Amino acid sequence: MTYRVMTVCTGNICRSPMAEVVLRARFTAAGLAEEVVVDSTGVSDEERGNPIDQRARRVLVAHGYAGGGGHRARQVEASELAERDLVLPMTALHARALRRLDPDANVVMLRRFDPSAPAVTDPRDERRLDIDDPWFGGPLEFEHCLAQIEAAADGVVAYVRDGLALG
């Protein structure tokens, strides 16, 4: 059984490809690289075809990750959501857009898997789980974004491992 995970941000050049790279590394470290496929998309097509942002690539490489060299931004399509076991949006706005595309998709805010993230029970408060957009910032904002992604990554691995055991 292959478990499919998709990370989603706005343009698919910063947050979601960073999360894709981090999750792939964590699944590999957990011995799940053969069972789990991770990809990323954006809710917008404004960056379609563009590579990962160079600032995102630099922070990934500085922390020992692959730099996402073959990445090309693309917009999520409704048909893809039904093909994914877990869809991880970076913000509440992304989550709402995804749920409109496919109300049955398993859309879970990435930071829900961060044990130090705020406890959110009301979906209207999901914005408290937003991963900050580093686009308008500098190196520190990209470092902060990576830290938020990394804080949730092990929780995602545990969730997927449980899903594979049940499947």
* Cα–Cα dist 161/164, whole Å: 5
The structure tokens listed for 60 are: 């990934």
Spot the catalytic one: 45, 132, 133, 154. 133
The verdict on whether 9 is a catalytic residue reads yes
Spot the catalytic one: 15, 55, 57, 84. 15
Distance of CA 2 to the CA centre of its chain: 18
Decide if 147 contacts 64 (C-beta within 8 A).
no
Cβ neighbours of 54 (radius 10 Å): 10
Spot the catalytic one: 9, 14, 55, 145. 9
Q: Alpha helices of the chain — where are they, by DSSP H?
A: 15-29, 54-62, 78-81, 92-101, 139-166
The end-to-end CA distance of the chain, in Å, is 7
Residue for token digits 């949006």? 89
The verdict on whether 114 is a catalytic residue reads no
Decide if 88 contacts 5 (C-beta within 8 A).
yes
Catalytic residues: 9, 15, 133
